[in-house]
Chains A and B, each alone.
Chain A
Amino acid sequence: MKNFEFVRPADLSELLIIKKKLQKKALILDGGTNLLIYIKDGVIREGTIVDVTRVPELKGIQRKNGTVEIGAAETMTDLMDSELLKDSIPFIPEFIKDFGNMLVRNTSTIGGNIADASPIADSAPPLLVLDARVVAASSEGERTIPLSQFFVKPQETALHPDEVLLRFEVPVPKSGRGRFVKLGLRRGTSCSVASAAVWLVADNGNVQEIRIALGGVAPKPLRIEKTEETFTGARLDTETIDRISEGVKQEIAPITDVRGSAAYRREVTARLVARAVKTCAGLEES
């Protein structure tokens, strides 16, 4: 039998008291697009559903000096429509166009997508190449965690049992261009087979800086730093892009599952990265 309770904290201090008391038994609910599926499928059988939709501290998008702060409970639709983001980090509204579909975006939140720690979370690769940071809160205070250190394994993050994901801090890029590409069986709605985000800073036809993050090829979304380092300073042409693709294949170790085989994932991921780099370099239309 399912055995759930329900609480609705009115603000962050109430939420943190509940989280301290219930620890992992507190099931944080906002959009519900993951949690209700886990409950319906029996993956989660008991706990206290903590409805955070009315906690004001989890909301808000604001620019502070060189950083944009995004509340964990901001919905994908609100991020996609945010004029502040379109002006400061247009890559975020851009990648969200490919996230789920309108019905999912209207309730799902950026914090929920990241805290779920799915290896194929669509918002993870873009936030990884943006060098985003996570701010966690507990009744003891706040701490900042680089997103690259936040994911541990599927459904497990660096959050302590008494902590909640409060907001993201995303540095406003000074230069460069980002692109997110993914392969799913149904546009948007389906869970992706593999995904890739690239941030490219080009200078006089050379790669000044390249950041590559992948989803669906490891137990967690990750940056492939070896390939990033190898191609820093390289000439930005189709030959280099072919070699980057080869580098991606060498550096990843995907697995076979219901959505695709390891060999297929390796091939697809290499091509997704190539496509993203070409778009960033202006060699191919997005």
Chain B
Amino acid sequence: MMGKTLYDLTITVNDRVVKSKVAAETSLLDFLRDNNFTEVKRGCDHGDCGACTVIVDDRAILSCLTVALQVQGRRVYTVNSLGSWDKLHPLQQAFVDREALQCGFCTPGMLMTAKALLDKNPHPTREEIREAISGNLCRCTGYNKIVDAIEDAADVISGVSKGGQHG
């Protein structure tokens, strides 16, 4: 019996070079989780839930529907690139302050979608936020608190103080 063909792969994840061998059809999600980036969550594994969202080339994408080899030589960012326990990213702080999570399973993907949105559109309307996160399912919060949190974070990032004229 012939062994499965494996291919060399080098991807920069959170600014760290990661080398591995993968099968032709291995998804970026499997590659990341197999290399201990388990902060990237496997939900539906079919592109319906958004839990596996990461940022590649400034765009939020579904890692479960991306072939790992397609990302050869490119930069991938997971939620762990945002902040640390000591210094949370404004989006993470806003999610905590607004209680925008309960079980937390959707949060890593939700945060990366929000990050990509604010990088492209620093002052989104509530409707634009809702549209942007429409591919990320959350079964706990009912979304309102998530939209509140992203709105708050947008203000913090762009330097508008809370309770100010946009508050």
Q: Which residues of A contact B (CB under 8 A)?
A: 1-6, 8, 29, 31-33, 36-37, 39-40, 48-49, 51, 53, 77, 100-104, 106-107, 187-189
Contact = CB atoms under 8 A, between A and B. Distances in A.
Interface string B39-69: 0000001111010010000011110111101
Contact of A8 (B48, B65, B69): B69
A51 B25 CA distance: 11
B134 interface: yes
Contact of A189 (B48, B60, B69, B113): B48
A36 B45 CA distance: 10
A51 B61 contact: no
B45 A102 contact: no
A49 B25 contact: yes
B159 to A, nearest CB: 25
A77 B134 contact: no
Contact of B25 (A31, A36, A103): A36
Nearest to A75: B59
Contacts of A5: 5, 24
Contacts, number: 86
B65 A37 contact: yes
Contacts of B4: 1, 3
Contact of B70 (A4, A53, A188): A53
A102 B67 contact: no
A188 B134 CA distance: 8
A202 to B, nearest CB: 30
A40 B46 contact: yes
Contact of A103 (B5, B27, B50): B50
Contact of A36 (B5, B27, B131, B136): B27
B48 to A, nearest CB: 7
B26 to A, nearest CB: 9
B61 A101 contact: no
A28 to B, nearest CB: 12
Nearest to B49: A189
Interface string B130-158: 01101110000000000000000000000
B24 A4 contact: yes
B82 interface: no
Given A32-B67, A103-B62, 16 more contacts: A4-B24, A6-B67, A32-B70, A33-B62, A36-B27, A36-B66, A49-B25, A77-B59, A102-B60, A102-B113, A103-B53, A103-B113, A104-B62, A104-B135, A106-B59, A107-B61
Q: Give the top 5 A-B pairs by smallest Cβ distance, nearest first.
A: A101-B135, A6-B24, A4-B24, A103-B135, A106-B59
A37 B46 contact: yes
A6 B62 contact: no
A106 B134 contact: no
A51 B7 CA distance: 14
B84 to A, nearest CB: 26
Nearest to B45: A40
A101 B134 contact: yes
Contacts of A48: 24
B43 to A, nearest CB: 12
A1 B23 CA distance: 12
B135 A102 contact: yes
Contacts of A6: 5, 7, 24, 67, 69
